[in-house]
């Protein structure tokens, strides 16, 4: 009854932490998607389905080939194709002859969510299962925090690669740490790791770019070709508000005093796009306004090929960019996106931001 899930950027650490918290010793950890993963998914999916669908399908095939039986996914119904992912995975994988159980965790349907979550927890009581989930959402916060540090330190590190090495160590530490008293200390421990182990250029005044767009395109380096690292290597601090915390972090969700970037962004987007379309369409537009007001230098908008909601926001963003005098670069990604083309566009964009900051366009 081995348990697995498709690879999903650093959220894979969170799922691993939750599974460990449920005492599951039979976890098959998915590998980072490779060219082969993309090919596998593309071979068995419709040509025009969203790119994330193909890559997730490829990742599922890989874990099933390695012996997985229970597969965790979500049946999150949005205004786009997202709600079709899980049923289509089931149909395609059944057709391919795989014997497996797809366990959908759908937060919109709470009784079903807990019924399905219970299937994963075996002998644990409801309270113990809830605790495992709680540890997961707290660790999700710290994983986001580690990424934030990584994408800040990475821009001003003196020894290339040192930030990534520390971040990797920190992610493992977060997954492996047990007992709430130790887990609560993790933010301080991780911060010290970066401070002590990454030498930085204290005189640097790096550009700052926000990265937004469709969830998978932002969180999965295999589709965005490690865009955060590329920007860091160009000396740019990056940050993204697109993470899973907003769904699974019940602590934050139930805290009515907490300001949520995505809710604020949706409000600010209303004059341009009044209704929700799915994906992060409204959020992408509102984020541009918020980043401008917060003094960021620019924003990169990522969306997968054939992504319906983000194509709409992509067509509105040039207007926002013009009205707010805020440079925005939209990039469409699919399994054929080439590294050289992406790199050239990033370099040109960063060069433009640099010149803008120096006042060359006045
Ligand atoms: S947001 Fe875009 S890429 Fe994601 S499921 Fe919806 S249409 Fe597909």
3-class secondary-structure state, position 235: coil
pLDDT in tens, the chain (362 residues): 799 999 999 999 999 998 888 888 899 999 999 999 999 999 999 988 999 999 999 999 999 999 999 999 887 778 889 889 999 999 999 999 999 999 988 877 878 887 888 788 877 888 888 888 899 999 999 999 999 999 999 999 999 999 999 999 999 999 999 999 999 999 999 999 999 999 999 999 999 999 999 999 999 999 999 999 999 999 999 999 999 888 888 888 888 888 889 999 999 999 999 999 988 999 999 999 999 999 999 999 999 999 999 999 999 999 999 999 999 999 999 988 899 999 999 999 999 999 999 988 77
Query: What's the CATH fold of domain 206-362?
Result: Rossmann fold (3.40.50)
Q: Ligand 1 pocket: which of 84, 242, 309 to mutate (most atoms <8 Å of CB)?
A: 309
The edge-to-edge listing of strands for the beta sheet with 328-333 is 236-239, 207-213, 298-304, 328-333
Ligand 1 atom closest to the Cα of residue 216 is: 4
Question: Ligand 1: which residues within 6 Å by Cβ?
Answer: 50, 52, 80-82, 214, 278-279, 304, 307-310
Q: Ligand 1 pocket: which of 52, 213, 331 to mutate (most atoms <8 Å of CB)?
A: 52
Ligand 1 atom closest to the Cα of residue 85 is: 5
Q: Name residues whose C-beta falls within 8 Å of residue 127's C-beta, 6 or more positions apart in sequence.
A: none
**Burial grade of 303 (CB within 10 A; 0-12, 13-18, 19 or more):** buried
Q: List the domain boundaries for the chain.
A: 3-124, 133-204, 206-362
Q: Name residues whose C-beta falls within 8 Å of residue 276's C-beta, 6 or more positions apart in sequence.
A: 79, 266, 282
**Burial grade of 221 (CB within 10 A; 0-12, 13-18, 19 or more):** middle
Q: Which of 230, 278, 260 is nearest to 82 (CA)?
A: 278
């Amino acid at each position: 009854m081995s348990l697995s899930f498709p690879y999903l950027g650093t959220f894979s650490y969170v799922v691993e932490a939750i599974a460990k918290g449920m005492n599951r010793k039979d976890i098959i950890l998915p590998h980072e998607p490779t060219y082969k993963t993309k090919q596998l998914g593309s071979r068995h999916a419709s040509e025009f389905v969203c790119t994330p669908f193909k890559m997730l399908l490829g990742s599922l095939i890989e874990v099933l080939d390695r012996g997985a039986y229970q597969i965790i996914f979500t049946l999150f119904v949005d205004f786009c194709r997202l709600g079709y992912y899980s049923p289509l995975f089931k149909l395609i994988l059944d057709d391919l002859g795989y014997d497996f159980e797809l366990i959908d965790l759908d937060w919109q349907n709470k009784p079903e969510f807990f019924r399905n979550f219970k299937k994963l927890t075996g002998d644990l009581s409801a309270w113990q299962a809830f605790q495992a989930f709680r540890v997961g959402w707290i660790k999700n916060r710290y994983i986001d925090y580690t990424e934030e540090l990584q994408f800040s330190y990475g821009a001003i590190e003196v020894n290339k690669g040192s930030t990534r090495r520390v971040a990797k160590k920190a992610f493992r530490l977060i997954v492996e740490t047990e007992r709430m008293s130790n887990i609560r200390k993790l933010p301080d421990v991780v911060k010290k790791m970066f401070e002590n182990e990454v030498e930085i250029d204290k005189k640097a005044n790096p550009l700052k770019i926000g990265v937004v767009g469709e969830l998978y395109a932002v969180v999965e380096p295999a589709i965005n070709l490690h865009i955060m690292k590329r920007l860091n290597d160009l000396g740019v601090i990056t940050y993204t508000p697109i993470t899973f915390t907003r769904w699974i972090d019940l602590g934050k969700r139930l805290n009515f005093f907490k300001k949520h970037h995505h809710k604020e962004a949706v409000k600010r987007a209303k004059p341009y796009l009044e209704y929700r379309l799915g994906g992060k369409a409204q959020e992408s537009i509102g984020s541009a306004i918020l980043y401008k007001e917060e003094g960021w230098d620019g924003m990169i908008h990522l969306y997968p090929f054939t992504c319906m909601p983000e194509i709409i926001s992509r067509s509105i963003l040039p207007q926002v960019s013009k009205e707010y005098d805020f440079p925005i670069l939209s990039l469409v990604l699919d399994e054929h996106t080439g590294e050289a083309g992406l790199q050239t566009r990033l370099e040109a964009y960063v060069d433009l931001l640099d010149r803008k900051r120096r006042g060359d366009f006045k």
